[in-house]
Structure 1
């Protein structure tokens, strides 16, 4: 079981400052970008790339028999400071679907000069915990 809470820390967006997972197997999902299954970037919209990146994370989590409820944290890379509002917009549109409770995992946001694919505006990694098997 994953629980989120806020420590007495400043917040700069929609995320929890602390994620707690019960003992289990750690699952790391490599950074996902806003490309389709063929590796094509079908949009130059930052917000749309953010939503596609979360969709891709969902595919990876499902392949490990997990869902977003198992994620204990995200690390997000955006290209340029001007991408921050686009990231926030895409996340605000996507999170109600994947986190209907309105409680979100911790997220670290980094501003970078570019990603491995020039068309990419965002890359998001996930860290999840598979619950320990019941004995």
Structure 2
């Protein structure tokens, strides 16, 4: 696991809800493509249910991190894409089940008109850094 420095709220900037404004680290960069709520066969998980979709997305992120030899502790940036900002509490709950609240990654959230499949409600991509 790489050492990261989180600056939750630089001087003059209000703290965010569960994220750091700045995260610094050095090592091997891992970029994880946007993960959607599908299982290993490509079947949708949680149709119409943002909580179930958020849980599946974070399970998929964990599998991607595992494949790279990383964990959620190595994540330095998350980007959330939602088709409705009302789904953000579900994403935050899924995030909070995996992320250390004392060292949260940088984060962005964007409401989009649609994702790659019409039944998808949320998508999350990530950047992680390993010290190797």
Instruction: Please give the TM-score of this superposition, normalised by the length of structure 1.
Output: 0.83
Moved over 6 A (4+): none
> Cα RMSD between the aligned structures?
1.8
Deviation for aligned residue 1:120:
0.8
Equivalences for residues 4-83 of structure 1 within 5 A? 4-6=6-8, 7-8=10-11, 9-22=13-26, 24-43=27-46, 44-83=48-87
Deviation at 1:12, TM superposition (A): 4.4
Q: Secondary structure at the match of 2:63?
A: helix
| Counterpart Cα distance in 2 of 1:101 and 1:118 | 32
Offset, 1:89: 3.9
Structure 1 residues 113 and 15, CA gap change in structure 2 (3 angstroms): same
Give ranges in structure 1 of 5+ residues lacking alignment: none
Aligned counterpart, 2:5? 3
1:69 positional shift: 1.1
Report the 3-state secondary structure (helix = DSSP H, G, I; strand = E; otherwise coil) of the residue aligned with 2:28: strand
- CA drift of 1:85 comes to 3.4
Provide Cα deviations, 1:82-118, integer angstroms capped at 9, x if missing partner. Answer: 3233333443xxx24x234543111100000110011
Q: Which runs of 5+ in 2 are unaligned?
A: none
Corresponding pairs, count: 127
